[in-house]
């Protein structure tokens, strides 16, 4: 099987490495506007050959779109325009309603499978790619009823080769749940970094005192705007909804402290502790 990967960054690169390791693929074309990334991916043996857009797509059995969600949404109709019914297209974007809507009336819609691997790091570029990224994490396929059976089967095989556990969801539900589980974490982490940078003018002190607790809470704040602005843009309503709830939860802590209502503060914390039972199942 030949694969064409559009966007040979962290996610595209990690998929490529894993599929090669599993010998699930014979040849990988890399397609990327960023020629530095392409050269790097080639020298890291993430891809076998650089290809231009049309050649790479026409010569691949499976095309994986692994670029920021706004660009992915824009490019998907063009990709579907030039494939035939033996080819399959999948994406890996963190928002799904926008991209499935962008092709809902496309004659080749059934060749597309909307996919989201629940994995990422704050790093980017082909050099951050690692084969073992996805193992044990959730891989979500959205609106499977809109994909052809053979296209769906191919993507299911890919997900299996990534050692992910497969979940099916409709695109709207996906965007709602990821707002809770992923997008809001990034906003709190960005806002926490900005809080500390605003209030703590002594950088040296941050560096010296930063504990593993701080580092883990603020880790996501290293994530780049090129990826995250489009996600927040595409999932604006859900993210705002969760963000409003989050601000109101923070106000409860503020009010408990201001009023020195330490029993209520303990209740808020005990409630938060319930996340342990869910995460450590």
Within residues 153-212, the interface with a copy of itself by CB under 8 A covers 165, 167, 177-178, 180-182, 184-200, 202-203, 205-212
Instruction: Mark 245-274 with x for binding to a copy of itself (rule: CB under 8 A) and - for no binding.
Output: xxx-xxxxxx--xx-x-x--xx-xxxxxxx
Q: How far is CA 71 from CA 8, 23, 64, 91, 99, in A?
A: 14, 30, 13, 11, 10
DSSP letter assigned to residue 105: T
Q: Which residues 60-79 are close enough to bind a copy of itself by CB under 8 A?
A: none
Give the gyration radius of the chain's Cα atoms: 21
Residue from the set 124, 171, 220, 234 that interacts with a copy of itself by CB under 8 A: 220
Give the Cα separation of 68 and 79 in Å (integer).
16
Neighbour tally for 105: CB within 10 Å:
8
Stretch touching a copy of itself by CB under 8 A, among 20-28, 72-80, 144-152, 214-222: 214-222
Q: According to the binding rule CB under 8 A, does residue 135 interact with a copy of itself?
A: no
Run of H or E including 100: helix 97-102
Which C-beta is closer to a copy of itself: that of 107 or that of 225? Answer: 225
Which C-beta is closer to a copy of itself: that of 82 or that of 209? Answer: 209
Nearest approach in angstroms of CB 213 to a copy of itself is 5
Nearest approach in angstroms of CB 146 to a copy of itself is 21
CA angle 73, 243, 92 (to 5 degrees): 25
């Amino acid at each position: 099987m030949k694969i064409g990967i559009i966007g040979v960054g962290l996610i595209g690169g990690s998929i490529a490495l894993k599929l090669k390791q599993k010998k699930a693929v014979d040849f990988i074309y890399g397609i990327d506007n960023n020629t530095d990334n392409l050269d790097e991916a080639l020298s890291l043996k993430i891809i076998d050959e650089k290809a231009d857009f049309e050649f790479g797509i026409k010569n691949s059995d499976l095309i994986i779109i692994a670029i920021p969600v706004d660009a992915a949404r824009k490019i998907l109709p063009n990709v579907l325009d030039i494939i035939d019914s033996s080819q399959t297209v999948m994406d890996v974007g963190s928002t799904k309603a926008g991209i499935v809507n962008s092709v809902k009336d496309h004659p080749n819609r059934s060749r597309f499978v909307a996919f989201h691997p629940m994995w990422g790091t704050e790093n980017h570029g082909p050099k951050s790619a690692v084969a073992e990224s996805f193992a044990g994490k959730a891989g979500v396929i959205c609106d499977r009823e809109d994909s052809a059976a053979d296209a769906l089967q191919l993507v299911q095989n890919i997900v299996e080769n990534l050692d992910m556990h497969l979940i099916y969801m409709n695109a709207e539900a996906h965007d709602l749940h990821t707002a809770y589980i992923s997008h809001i974490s990034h906003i709190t982490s960005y806002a926490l970094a900005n809080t500390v940078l605003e209030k703590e003018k002594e950088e040296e002190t941050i560096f010296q005192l930063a504990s593993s607790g701080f580092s883990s809470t603020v880790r996501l704040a290293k994530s780049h705007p090129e990826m995250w602005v489009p996600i927040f843009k595409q999932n604006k309503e859900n993210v705002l909804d969760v963000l409003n709830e989050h601000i109101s939860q923070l106000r409860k802590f503020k009010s408990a402290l201001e009023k020195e209502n330490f029993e209520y503060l303990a209740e808020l914390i005990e409630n938060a502790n319930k996340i342990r039972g869910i995460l450590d199942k």
